[in-house]
Amino acid sequence: MAKVKTRYVCANCGSVSSRWLGRCPQCGEWNTMTEETLQPEAPRKAGSMQRTGTETRPAALTDITMEDMSRLETGIGELDRVLGGGLVPGALILLSGDPGIGKSTLVLQMAAAVCKKQGAVLYGSGEESQGQIKMRAERLGIVAPDLFIQADTSLDAVLHEAERRKPRLLIVDSIQTMYCQDADGTPGSMGQIREGTARLMTFAKTTNIPVVVIGHVTKEGAIAGPRMMEHMVDVVLYFEGDRQYQFRILRGIKNRFGSTNESGMFTMTEEGLSELANPSQLLLAERSAHQAGSVIAAVMDGQRPMLGEIQALTSHSVFAVPRRTASGMDYNRLIILLAVLEKRIGLNLGTQDVYINVVGGLRLTGTAADLPVILAVVSSFKDIPMDEYTVVMGEVGLTGDIRRVPQADRRLKEAAKMGFTRFIVPRGNMSELKRDDFPDCRIIPVVSIRDAITAAFSS
């Protein structure tokens, strides 16, 4: 009898070792090495080549046609925005998020929308029975005769049914509950997840049917399973938000067919997830006027202009080293801005704890929010509120100068639409702004943070 061979694979990075290690030598994580049993390979004749998958002949790039490669619109505008315009035929899409955040609700609504516009959809579920999915569909008001539900934990059975029906879209909920017959381990193990992802990828590429697969997350917030899974798929989407509130954000972490700077906004209601066409209105709905430390910033979320509230709080520190906390923005960027404030303005923040919060779960990825952050800190430090109808934008350099930001006209048009009438902008953006587009608004150009502070807090 042949000796059983084993190997140890890191659950975090996929590194392989012939023996167990307490710490992964590649990623440095502890207690992530898990044992896998290797299947003995069938003997091959000398000089023979092993062939896997579907054989295809090479074709010249100029001879490749693009027919049947048009995107499939899901019918959910915010989802199509994140995907880059819709589902690409043959794409493998991984949707992940915290438990209870609404992943299954989102894919069920997407399945119903695709059925209505494109054709049949196969929904393979290893977590819920057909009756449970039917109950959820009735609660969401979904009636879709072309939506086929298969409650099965065998991925091979789901793929066999998909090959028979040839749907316009295949949904798998979830990869951690599916079992591959020829793979080692229990459902949810690294070997099963890796093999299941590989089979889904092969199915998607050979049939040109897009596949959406749901993946769970670990307690640290990372996608459960080997990191190799994220490299294998074409698109990685992350659904996030606070379950205590209605606000949900869909972000693209990886997208081979579009931008990863886009995000989709949803609200959770009794009828399911509803698209949020005007996120600025929701983000500013509960803002209190005349509060020190609150500044409205004009930012861009991908190609969508948005208004976000930035809150700052400074308080006397009781520690030798004051605390710096940033929620929604880069911590290192905050440290730089505070250093510029101390050096160029003489603001003594060495004895102050500084806390920054971007309301609503937004993430500031660009530099256009530099000036709003600085003005929020000054407002809190001096305990002087800014005018409630003022919107600010601008990048701050290390010398204290204010530099131009891209797409300033779109940002200000969004602000004017929301009723704001006073704009503090970099002087470098004035050449691209047309005064006729803002007839009832006052635009204040600034060149330094000292000018901006004077303009922001002048009567």
Burial pattern 429-451, b for ≥16 Cβ within 10 A else e, equals beeebeeeebeebebbbbebbeb
**Residues 406/353, Cβ–Cβ less than 8 Å:** no
CATH code of the domain covering residue 121: 3.40.50.300
Whether residue 99 is annotated as binding a ligand: the answer is: yes
**Residues 180/199, Cβ–Cβ less than 8 Å:** yes
pLDDT given at position 50: 46
| Token pair of 83 as six digits | 């995907």
Whether residue 103 is annotated as binding a ligand: the answer is: yes
Location of structure tokens 């940002």:
411
185 and 89 assigned to the same domain: yes
pLDDT given at position 48: 45
Location of structure tokens 């003005």:
375
pLDDT given at position 225: 58
What values do phi and psi take at 295, rounded to 5? -135, 140
Task: Give the orientation angle of helix 370-382 with respect to helix 449-457, to 10 degrees.
Answer: 60
Whether residue 63 is annotated as binding a ligand: the answer is: no
CA dist 105 and 273 (Å) reads: 7
Does residue 65 sit within a domain?
no
**Residues 144/115, Cβ–Cβ less than 8 Å:** yes
Q: Count Cβ atoms within 10 A of the Cβ of residue 176 and give its class: 0-12 exposed, 13-18 middle, 19 or more buried.
A: buried
290 and 367 assigned to the same domain: yes
327 and 423 assigned to the same domain: yes
CA dist 452 and 340 (Å) reads: 14
268 and 369 assigned to the same domain: no
241 and 367 assigned to the same domain: no
Q: What amino acid occupies position 409?
A: D
- Three-class secondary structure of residue 62 per DSSP: helix
CA dist 140 and 409 (Å) reads: 39
Does residue 64 sit within a domain?
no
User: H-type helices in 297-369, by residue range?
Assistant: 331-340
291 and 382 assigned to the same domain: yes
**Residues 309/364, Cβ–Cβ less than 8 Å:** no
CA dist 61 and 310 (Å) reads: 49
CA dist 36 and 6 (Å) reads: 6
241 and 94 assigned to the same domain: yes
Does residue 147 sit within a domain?
yes
Number of H helices and E strands in the chain, helices first, is 11, 21
pLDDT given at position 47: 47
Structural domain ending residue among the three candidates 277, 312, 338: 277
Does residue 352 sit within a domain?
yes
pLDDT given at position 190: 80
Whether residue 104 is annotated as binding a ligand: the answer is: yes
CA dist 355 and 325 (Å) reads: 5
pLDDT given at position 66: 73
Whether residue 102 is annotated as binding a ligand: the answer is: yes
435 and 349 assigned to the same domain: yes
Does residue 215 sit within a domain?
yes
Structural domain ending residue among the three candidates 277, 312, 328: 277
260 and 326 assigned to the same domain: no
Give residues with Cβ within 8 angstroms of 339, minimum separation 6.
none
Whether residue 84 is annotated as binding a ligand: the answer is: no
CA dist 387 and 290 (Å) reads: 7
Whether residue 98 is annotated as binding a ligand: the answer is: yes
Cis peptide before 174 (omega within 30 of 0): yes
- 366-407-387-371 Cα dihedral, nearest 10 degrees: 30
Does residue 358 sit within a domain?
yes
169 and 84 assigned to the same domain: yes
CATH code of the domain covering residue 400: 3.30.230.10
Structural domain ending residue among the three candidates 258, 277, 296: 277
273 and 292 assigned to the same domain: no
CA dist 17 and 36 (Å) reads: 10
Q: Count Cβ atoms within 10 A of the Cβ of residue 374 and give its class: 0-12 exposed, 13-18 middle, 19 or more buried.
A: buried
**Domain range for 26:** 5-38
Does residue 46 sit within a domain?
no
Does residue 53 sit within a domain?
no
Reported as half-sphere exposure (CB side, CA atoms, 13 A), residue 284 has a value of 22
251 and 319 assigned to the same domain: no
pLDDT along the chain (459 residues), means of 10: 74 80 86 76 50 67 78 91 92 91 93 92 94 94 93 94 95 91 80 90 93 82 66 91 74 89 86 85 81 94 88 94 94 96 93 93 88 97 94 96 94 92 95 87 95 89
Total number of domains in the chain: 3
